[in-house]
Chain A
Amino acid sequence: MRQRVTRRHVFGRIGVAIAGLLTTAAARSVKAAVQKVFVSASAPKDYDATRHKWLMCIDINRCIGCGLCAEACKKENHVPEGPCFRTWIERYIIPKPKPGSGQTRGEALVDSPNGGMHGFPESPVAKEEIEQSFFVPKLCNLCHHSPCTQVCPVGATFDAPDGAVLIDPKYCIGCGFCIQACPYGCRFLNPLTKTAEKCTLCYHRITRGLKPACVEVCPTQARIFGDLKNPAQDDPLRKFYETNRVQVLKPHLGTEPRVLYAGMDKEVR
């Protein structure tokens, strides 16, 4: 015959359950405390995210398409091989219009073989036929109203107070909504970790007073990186602002990017 369930029995069970919950709570707070010590030991203590506002400017007239930025980004952030790029270079070739077509210019050709990491093959258009040609480095546009963070179902991607749009790799479930939402194609799914990834502005570098890897290696200073809240006296950002007219990519989307382009052609999207 089955044992009768007594009141004492039930209360005992409830007591055990509460005790169990309390122990897990204690374990959790211990874990959090340990984590805090560990994280603050490795993360810079003097960095306050609310006191910075990062910004990237790109001078298209200075980009020579060497691909050092794309290569450095892969190395610095351990981005896997293959078509995964946090930053890349696009080559635009605008041919001369066909005679008698009445157009001002031909249709633009855009390519980015292997993200421009290893240079570009010879132009498919003969040199005499080219009206204009230039390189455009691309990266996360650091949108003020970022479409990618709005669609994340788990709160894994967010606009940090310092302007960087970041992904919490521990919380990302790899659903790929943000990859579809980004109008600039700046996100990808890491084939190894199966989480979404993107440019973090080299968050581990900028929080320690270093420049992002792509800015560090750019040989022509086509990339200018700065802090809007702490402009230095001889800040390259200030000089850049004074001497250039800037534009953002896809302004009609209202994303308000904080990556500004100088010398941009209307063909660039």
Chain B
Amino acid sequence: MPPQILRLVLLTVAIVGSYLVARYFLTPSSFGEYGWYRANALGELSSYKRVYAGAKACDECHDEQYQQVAKDGHKTLSCEACHGPGQAHADNPDINKMTILTYSHCVRCHEANPSRPKWHKQINTKTHYTGQKCTECHVPHQPAEVP
């Protein structure tokens, strides 16, 4: 073989070889398992810690209130919709407390607004009752009841 061809062959082998070596070392182990990405990312993304526990976790201890809410007008509400994120409370109920409802929680949804759908019960906070103590007349867990 003429020396110039030999050199060319060696050079080609070196270039292709270094590419293959680099590819071997730089490609993540799970790349291409599902597609053009790192399949391990799925596991990593699903391993994050949650902040909201889900209503089932509330039911484990507070089943009485859970069933109470399920009977009445607020049955579509999850506990954490009003009481805030609860995973910390579920892990450590003595240290982390849930939010106790105030006036602002009620009016967040029930303040009259022309953009809100008509089926939704709304009040004008300037005329309805200015005392800001909704629980005097309404029971949040059972809105149809009178205290």
Contacts and interface: CB of A to CB of B under 8 A. Distances in A.
A30 to B, nearest CB: 12
B114 A39 contact: no
Interface of A: 21, 24-25, 28, 32, 35-36, 39-40, 42-44, 47, 49-50, 61-68, 72, 75-76, 91-93, 119-120, 123, 127, 130, 133-135, 155-161, 166, 168-171, 200, 202-205, 207-208, 210-211, 213, 216-221
Contacts, number: 143
A194 B116 CA distance: 37
| Interface secondary structure of B, over-half rule | loop
Contacts of B51: 75-76, 213
A170 to B, nearest CB: 7
Given A39-B44, A64-B117, A168 B78 contact: no
- The 8 A-B pairs with the shortest beta carbon distances in the complex, nearest first, are A42-B47, A168-B41, A158-B37, A43-B43, A204-B48, A133-B115, A207-B46, A39-B43
B52 A216 contact: yes
B44 A43 contact: yes
17 contacts: A39-B44, A66-B108, A72-B52, A133-B115, A135-B115, A155-B31, A155-B37, A158-B37, A166-B42, A168-B37, A168-B45, A170-B41, A203-B42, A204-B49, A219-B76, A219-B78, A219-B81
A49 B34 contact: yes
A18 to B, nearest CB: 10
Contacts of A61: 117
Given A28-B25, A135-B115, A76 B85 contact: yes
Given A40-B43, A43-B43, A49-B34, A76 B50 contact: yes
| Interface secondary structure of A, over-half rule | mixed
A157 B38 CA distance: 9
Interface of B: 21, 25, 29, 31, 34-38, 40-52, 54-55, 74, 76-78, 80-81, 85, 108-109, 111, 113-117, 120
Contact of B116 (A65, A76, A169, A200): A65
Nearest to B34: A161
B45 A166 contact: yes
Nearest to A129: B114
Nearest to A50: B34
A76 B49 CA distance: 9
Contacts of A36: 40
Contacts of B38: 155, 168, 170-171
A64 B109 contact: yes
A80 B51 CA distance: 15
